[in-house]
Amino acid sequence: MALLRGRGYASVNYPTGMNLGGDPSQALIHATTMGGFVVSLSSVDLGQGLKTIAAQCAAETLGMPMDNVIVDTADTDTGPHCMGTFASRGTHRVGNAVIMAAREAREVMLQVAAEELEVDADDLETDGSGFVRLKGSPETKIHVQDIALAAHFKQGRTISGRGIFLKERSYPVPETGEMDPDSAQAHACTVAEVEVDDETGIVTVLSLHNAYEIGRALNPAMVTQQVEGGAWMGVSHAVFEATEPYYPSSRAHGPVDFCEYLMPGPAETPVQTSVILERPASNGPFGAKGIGEMTANAPIPAVANAIFDACGVRITVMPFTPESILRGLDELRDAEPSA
Amino acid sequence: MAKINEIDTEFFADERSSSFTVIGTPAQRSDALGHVTGKTEFFEDRAFPDLAHVKIHRSVHHHARIDSVDCSEALKVPGVLRVITHHDVPANWYLVLRLIGVEPHDEPVLAEDRVLYVGEPIVAVVADTEAAAIEGASRVKVSYTELPAVLDVEEALSPDAPVIKKDGTNYFVYEGHHARRIRFGDVEEGFAQADHVFEWRYSSAPIEHAPTETTGCIVVPQSGNRLLIHSNTQAAFFTLDNTALILDRPFTDLQVKGGTVGGGFGGKVDVIVEPLACIAATLTNRPVKFVYSREEEMQVSSPRAAERIYIKDGVMADGRIVARKVMLYVDSGAYSRHTPYGTTKAAAHLPGPYTIPNVHADCHCVYTNRTPSSAMRGFGVTIADFAIESQMDRIARALDIDPLELRLRNAYRDGDMKAHRKVASGTALIEVIQRAAALVGHDLPPEYLAMSSSTPREA
């Protein structure tokens, strides 16, 4: 009996968006009296960081610090329409809508500033710290608080903007499947290393080495959490999870809680080493592609291929249970000519 | 300080701008501190003094005719306020994808005369306490006549299988076809031309989204006849629109507030709890909570569809894949939910990130007497990737070609025509393979290191 090690590879791509169904999201933005900017959405942040991304996109476009941006979302009375958070679409669709809204608001902001400074709006720029200044003459400047106050109480203008992203719906051609199903494709390659215990059939995923191409890392820390969390989920699908362990033959023994529905704990979680590549998408917000879903996918076949490399058992059914490994090993032994 | 993965700026250097101030910075996630300090407010953290609770009486059979439903004992349980049957649901038959024009409406909110899966909701019980609602639901008496069940996707498609769907077929009909089709080139010609033909089968069991927070909502009647829905939905307007259609009420009657979700992964886009909670709130004029127990989340809420995939490849001796035929069977369970969409998404994904001149795929969305499956992270793609990438590994081994070199030889590039007849752009499969190889010290020959996604392949 032995612990057998193996390495497996997998490379995948993944589409951004769901424009087989019609795929719009909207954003509204307005300045408060003191130069805050409220981004109004109805989009749902699932914990992946959509609110933070919306704030970054707004701040970058407005030329204001992130602290000035407030994101108000997930209320259908106050936020404009969003199709929803799925299909790796949030960053791409909502990001684009926020940028469009912020551009419009920025234009008004610069016009108000121009009137206060008695210059041409085209000659103004933001400095990223909260000031609007004259290009080439940075002493001629006005803080966003003063711009907002002037807009509200002196000029009678709303510093606001409207944004929408819509990729027109694609209807597949029934005969051929011709369609335009996505806005971009992200990419991943995973190398998995596993250890197979040929006595118990237990597969331990030791490490994952990943390269991800994601368009643009709008927030590298959140990219890290998303790719690592996703890859963990892939490992979990590969070697642990099933709501029907005996699918399709029976529905018996379906787990009903986390004592029965197994997932990797800290001891079963592989070491992950990942590198990010950026090939900006022409239609993405600052080039970003959607990566929410993709990162769970490559680890699964990489682990399957590593199991074969380790012990010669080709697993074709998910999840890769100890039972399936042991049955595979038995078949290999049975196939060997007897000594 | 958060861990941050390296960004390798050597790749696509001429396509990257870097003149950003906020973009590209590791700004702290806005909800992180609230989560780790316990200050985040989830929908269940809202307290209402007169909150009522909904629990469901569910089918115990895979497939049965309902002969009678007796709620009299349930109504005698102290604290039970109401029972809700399909008669109380204004537009009982629905399909969440109706918002994008998909038909037929194949699922009842509450079962009428038949149940198609174990766990199908038949009666909802509203009570003062959760315990009373559970007790009431357990006392509903349903008498059934069992019907033959179909639990296997390929058996469901066989001519002698019992038809379980009222619309007449055990599969979703795609504009007159029994499957979403991909037809590109001529696979039979490709197989004839190939040096090797490989055909293998892959499959998966259903899996659960396993969110920390189970699916649920609290509906609070407002002055002026509106209903305020506190929900952990992943899609506020999707929930609102579907709920209004089921309630047959003006859309402006409803307000959805959410945005704090203890794990979604596609499991919170089905619009299951909100309609019944709204009906219960309307009938009792009280705030009503309907939240799945962990057991319901695991066995009744939609899982990721189980899939069965046959891939047949024609391959040249040098590893070029010249034909790929895929027969995909997606187990939708008893109802459609989002699976007809996911099956089309699967078709669009085939034959994977490779340029293959002849591709034929039939992607079947199949109905069986199982828990309806629906959206989940990687919808339509995850299981296909398992199959495709296992297939690639097996071909590489069969032909004694390095597994990464095989992939690089077939990798799609800018300008290639995909099987769904969209010209590929922004591709980067070659580069992620090259970079992953470098990460683990897997040596690639110079001609493979020189490949580039933006360089057209040689004819």
Domain boundary residue among B281, B299, B317?
B299
Q: Do B439 and A211 touch (CB under 8 A)?
A: yes
Q: Are B353 and B429 in contact (CB under 8 A)?
A: yes
Asked if residue B24 is part of any domain, the answer here is no
For residues B133 and B80, membership in a common domain is answered with yes
Parallel, antiparallel, or unpaired: how do β-strands A37-40 and A69-72 relate? parallel
Beta-carbon contacts of residue B393 (< 8 Å; ≥ 6 apart):
A8, A9, A10, A301, A304, A305, A308, B403
Domain boundary residue among B251, B283, B299?
B299
Q: Do B22 and A66 touch (CB under 8 A)?
A: yes
Q: Are B78 and B234 in contact (CB under 8 A)?
A: no
CB pairs under 8 A between A and B: 426
Number of domains in chain B: 2
For residues B340 and B320, membership in a common domain is answered with yes
User: Which residues from B are below 8 Å from A277, CB to CB?
Assistant: 7-8, 11-12, 428, 431-432, 435
User: Taking 70 as the threshold, does the pLDDT of residue B459 lie above it?
Assistant: no
For residues B308 and B364, membership in a common domain is answered with yes
Asked if residue A40 is part of any domain, the answer here is yes
Going by the DSSP 8-state scheme, the letter that residue B235 receives in this structure is -
Neighbours of A202 (CB within 10 A): 16
> Chain B neighbours among A 216-245 (CB < 8 Å)?
216-225, 227-228, 230, 233, 237, 241-245
Alpha-carbon distance B150 to B63, whole Å?
8
**Does B377 reach chain A within 8 Å, measured CB to CB?**
yes
For residues B127 and B233, membership in a common domain is answered with yes
User: Which residues from B are below 8 Å from A82, CB to CB?
Assistant: 235-237
Going by the DSSP 8-state scheme, the letter that residue B44 receives in this structure is G
Give the pLDDT confidence of B318-355 residue by residue, as tens digits. Answer: 999 999 999 999 999 999 999 999 999 999 999 999 99
State what percent of residues in chain B have pLDDT above 90.
Answer: 97
Alpha-carbon distance B58 to A235, whole Å?
33
The reported pLDDT for the residue numbered A23 is: 87
For residues B338 and B396, membership in a common domain is answered with yes
* Banded pLDDT at B456 (limits 50, 70, 90): confident
Q: Are A159 and A268 in contact (CB under 8 A)?
A: no
Q: Which residue range forms the structural domain that includes residue B267?
A: 52-146+210-299
Alpha-carbon distance A159 to A150, whole Å?
10
User: Smallest Cα–Cα separation from A213: which of B430, B381, B28?
Assistant: B430
Q: Are A213 and A278 in contact (CB under 8 A)?
A: yes
User: What is chain B's mean pLDDT, rounded?
Assistant: 97
Q: Do B353 and A13 touch (CB under 8 A)?
A: yes
For residues A142 and A222, membership in a common domain is answered with no
Q: How far apart, in Å, are the Cα atoms of B237 and each of A293, B218, B231, B254?
A: 22, 16, 11, 10
Q: Distance from first CA to last CA of chain A, Å, rounded?
A: 18
- Compute the radius of gyration of chain B from its Cα atoms: 26
Asked if residue B156 is part of any domain, the answer here is no
Domain boundary residue among A113, A131, A165?
A165
For residues B338 and B360, membership in a common domain is answered with yes
For residues A83 and A191, membership in a common domain is answered with no
Element holding B202 (H helix, E strand): strand B196-204
Least confident of A93-102, B14-23, B211-220, B396-405: B14-23
For residues A151 and A215, membership in a common domain is answered with no
Neighbours of A337 (CB within 10 A): 4
A104 tagged catalytic: no
Asked if residue B455 is part of any domain, the answer here is no
User: Taking 60 as the threshold, does the pLDDT of residue B304 lie above it?
Assistant: yes
CATH code, domain carrying B96: 3.90.1170.50
> Chain B neighbours among A 110-169 (CB < 8 Å)?
128, 169
CA distance B53 to chain A (A): 21
Asked if residue B32 is part of any domain, the answer here is no
Domain boundary residue among A98, A131, A165?
A165
Q: Do A213 and B6 touch (CB under 8 A)?
A: no
For residues A231 and A135, membership in a common domain is answered with no
Asked if residue A170 is part of any domain, the answer here is no
Asked if residue B383 is part of any domain, the answer here is yes
Find the length of chain B: 459
Asked if residue A173 is part of any domain, the answer here is no
- Report phi then psi at B155, rounded to 5: -65, -35
Asked if residue B19 is part of any domain, the answer here is no
**Pick from B202, B361, B436: which is nearest to A211 by CB?**
B436
Asked if residue A177 is part of any domain, the answer here is no
For residues B285 and B141, membership in a common domain is answered with yes
Q: Distance from first CA to last CA of chain B, Å, rounded?
A: 50
Give the pLDDT confidence of B201-223 residue by residue, as tens digits. Answer: 999 999 999 999 999 999 999 99
For residues A30 and A12, membership in a common domain is answered with no
User: Taking 90 as the threshold, does the pLDDT of residue B1 lie above it?
Assistant: no
Segment B39-43 mean pLDDT: 96
For residues B316 and B252, membership in a common domain is answered with no
The reported pLDDT for the residue numbered A20 is: 80
For residues A113 and A250, membership in a common domain is answered with no
For residues B134 and B69, membership in a common domain is answered with yes
Asked if residue A263 is part of any domain, the answer here is yes
Going by the DSSP 8-state scheme, the letter that residue B75 receives in this structure is H
Q: Do A191 and B440 touch (CB under 8 A)?
A: yes
User: Taking 90 as the threshold, does the pLDDT of residue B149 lie above it?
Assistant: yes
For residues A216 and A161, membership in a common domain is answered with no
Asked if residue A175 is part of any domain, the answer here is no
> Chain A neighbours among B 181-200 (CB < 8 Å)?
181-184, 200
For residues A101 and A233, membership in a common domain is answered with no
- Residue to mutate among B382, B414, B416, B429, with most A CBs inside 10 A, is B382
**Pick from A176, A274, A316: which is nearest to B183 by CB?**
A176
CA distance A269 to chain B (A): 16
Asked if residue B131 is part of any domain, the answer here is yes
CATH code, domain carrying A124: 3.30.365.10
User: Which residues from B are below 8 Å from A279, CB to CB?
Assistant: 11-12, 15-16, 426, 428, 431, 453
CA distance A221 to chain B (A): 5
* Banded pLDDT at B77 (limits 50, 70, 90): very high
Asked if residue B114 is part of any domain, the answer here is yes
Residue ranges of alpha helices (H) inside B123-235 are 130-139, 153-157, 187-193
Domain boundary residue among A130, A165, A200?
A165
Q: Which residue range forms the structural domain that includes residue A235?
A: 3-16+182-335
Q: Do A76 and B257 touch (CB under 8 A)?
A: yes
For residues A151 and A201, membership in a common domain is answered with no
Domain boundary residue among B267, B299, B331?
B299
Handedness of CA A54, A55, A57, A58 (dihedral sign): positive
For each of chain A's 339 residues, which pLDDT tens digit applies? 899 999 999 999 999 998 787 889 999 999 999 999 999 999 999 999 999 999 999 999 999 999 999 999 999 999 999 999 999 999 999 999 999 999 999 999 999 999 999 999 999 999 999 999 999 999 999 999 999 999 999 999 999 999 999 998 999 999 999 999 999 999 999 999 999 999 999 999 999 999 999 999 999 999 999 999 999 999 999 999 999 999 999 999 999 999 999 999 999 999 999 999 999 999 999 999 999 999 999 999 999 999 999 999 999 999 999 999 999 999 999 998 865
CATH code, domain carrying B200: 3.30.365.10
For residues A90 and A216, membership in a common domain is answered with no
Asked if residue A98 is part of any domain, the answer here is yes
Number of domains in chain A: 2
For residues B311 and B194, membership in a common domain is answered with yes
User: Taking 70 as the threshold, does the pLDDT of residue B66 lie above it?
Assistant: yes
The amino acid at residue A266 is P
Alpha-carbon distance B45 to B48, whole Å?
10
For residues A308 and A248, membership in a common domain is answered with yes
Q: Do B420 and A178 touch (CB under 8 A)?
A: yes
Neighbours of B185 (CB within 10 A): 17
User: Taking 90 as the threshold, does the pLDDT of residue B250 lie above it?
Assistant: yes
Give the pLDDT confidence of A205-220 residue by residue, as tens digits. Answer: 999 999 999 999 999 9
Joined together, the tokens standing for residue B451 give 């490949």
Three-state DSSP state, A163:
strand
For residues A117 and A192, membership in a common domain is answered with no
For residues B186 and B259, membership in a common domain is answered with no
For residues B196 and B290, membership in a common domain is answered with no
**Does A306 reach chain B within 8 Å, measured CB to CB?**
no
